């Protein structure tokens, strides 16, 4: 529940990407979802109308940049423009899953930096603040000249696992060398050692890692990552851990993108359970017995309340 239910002056609007999460966030804040109509013209153009007064209110727009990502991003831009033209006190965008976050640097000639482009368009559209969750690239915060609250899910995930899983003989595993800091941080929260899958070519789908740095034999191996997209990294890591004698294999990840046939392939893998947040909406067709979904609604709702009351958001993680 929210730390303070007296949130007069807050208006929370849900767009199309994840209304169930938006409803939970509004409930945590002790307010009703704002009224808006979202339709499309016959040619596919997005049509948005705000159906209540928001004059002088702090408006929070909930929208994940998930599939269909381009439509959801455009919907967010249009909604911001609609709010900006209504004399709202402030425009705050809540992006539980920030898409295009892998495009943060110009690694080759003639390549775009899409994460910076998204940030620039949001700022030019008139936003006052961004609230997001476990950015794939934390440097995106520096792309904005406005406040960005990058909320962390690891404490909620670790508490959930300690409550619902036997972690007495656990080891947290980084699926590659790039994720060691994340694995070490999560291991500290559940008081376990770490191991590393020695994937020397993580970007190559055909490359199969064979070595593990650390002891995983007869242990509960927890693969820690920020998101699962195609599932290739998690599945490759799980296969290696199984060959090295891991007793059980879990994956804990904030964002469950699950592109294409990722879930079907995970079903056929040695992974016993995948623990993800509800930052991305998963309909019934994507829910399997291997999925354990932990809600981020209270975390975001309490962050909104603290922002509204000019209190520190960082205290949520201590």
pLDDT per position as a tens digit, 157-204: 999 999 999 999 999 999 988 889 999 999 999 999 999 998 766 666
Q: Residue 206's pLDDT is what?
A: 66
Quickly state the pLDDT bin for 2 (edges 50, 70, 90).
very low
Sign of CA dihedral 250, 256, 262, 267: positive
Determine the 3-state secondary structure of 279 from DSSP. coil
Question: For residue range 270-298, what is the model confidence (pLDDT) as tens digits?
Answer: 999 999 999 999 988 888 899 999 999 99
Instruction: Of 37, 119, 41, 42, give the one whose Cα is nearest residue 79.
Output: 37
- Give the residue-averaged pLDDT of 89-102: 95
- Give the residue-averaged pLDDT of 48-69: 96
Is 136 or 221 the better-scoring residue by pLDDT?
Answer: 221
- What's the mean per-residue pLDDT of the chain? 92
Distance CA 113, CA 23 (A): 33
Question: For residue range 221-241, what is the model confidence (pLDDT) as tens digits?
Answer: 999 999 999 999 999 999 999
Over 80: is that where the pLDDT of 7 sits? no
Q: Residue 123's pLDDT is what?
A: 95
Provide the b/e sequence for 131-167 (b: ≥16 CB within 10 Å).
Answer: bbbbbbbeebeebbeeebbebbbbebbbebbeeebeb
Instruction: Determine if the pTM surpasses 0.75.
Output: yes
Strands 273-277 and 248-256: parallel
Q: Residue 316's pLDDT is what?
A: 79
> CB atoms < 10 A from the CB of 289, how many?
7
Domains observed in the chain:
10-152+297-317 (3.40.50.2020), 154-294 (3.40.50.2020)
Percent residues over pLDDT 70 in the chain: 95
Is 127 or 285 the better-scoring residue by pLDDT?
Answer: 127
CB-CB contact of 76 with 63 (8 Å): yes
């Amino acid at each position: 529940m929210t730390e303070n239910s007296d949130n007069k002056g807050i208006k929370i609007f849900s767009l199309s990407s994840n209304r169930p999460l938006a409803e939970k966030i509004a409930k945590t804040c002790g307010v009703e979802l704002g009224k808006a109509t979202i339709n499309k013209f016959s040619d596919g153009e997005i049509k948005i109308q705000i159906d209540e007064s928001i004059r002088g209110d702090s408006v929070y727009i909930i929208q994940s940049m998930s599939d269909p990502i381009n439509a959801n991003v455009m919907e967010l831009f249009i909604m911001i423009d609609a709010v900006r033209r209504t004399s709202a006190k402030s425009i705050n965008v809540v992006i539980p899953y920030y898409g295009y976050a892998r495009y943060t640097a110009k690694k080759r000639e003639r390549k775009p930096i899409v994460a910076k482009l998204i940030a620039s368009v949001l700022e030019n559209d008139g936003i006052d603040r961004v609230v997001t969750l476990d950015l794939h690239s934390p440097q995106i915060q520096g792309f904005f000249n406005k406040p960005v609250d990058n909320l962390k899910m690891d404490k909620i995930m670790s508490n959930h696992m300690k409550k619902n899983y036997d972690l007495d003989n656990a080891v947290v595993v980084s699926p590659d060398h790039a994720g060691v800091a994340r694995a070490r941080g999560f291991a500290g929260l559940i008081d376990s050692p770490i191991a590393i899958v020695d994937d020397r070519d993580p970007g190559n789908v055909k490359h199969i890692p064979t070595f593990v740095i650390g002891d995983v034999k007869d242990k509960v191996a927890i693969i820690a990552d920020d998101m699962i997209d195609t599932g290739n990294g998690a599945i490759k890591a799980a296969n290696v851990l199984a060959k090295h004698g891991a007793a059980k294999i879990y994956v804990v990840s904030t964002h469950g993108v699950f592109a294409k046939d990722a879930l079907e392939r995970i079903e056929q893998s040695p992974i016993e359970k995948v623990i993800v947040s509800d930052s991305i909406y998963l309909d019934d067709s994507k829910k399997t017995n291997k999925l354990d979904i932990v809600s981020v609604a209270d975390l975001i709702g309490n962050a909104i309340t603290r922002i509204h009351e000019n209190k520190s958001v960082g205290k949520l993680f201590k």
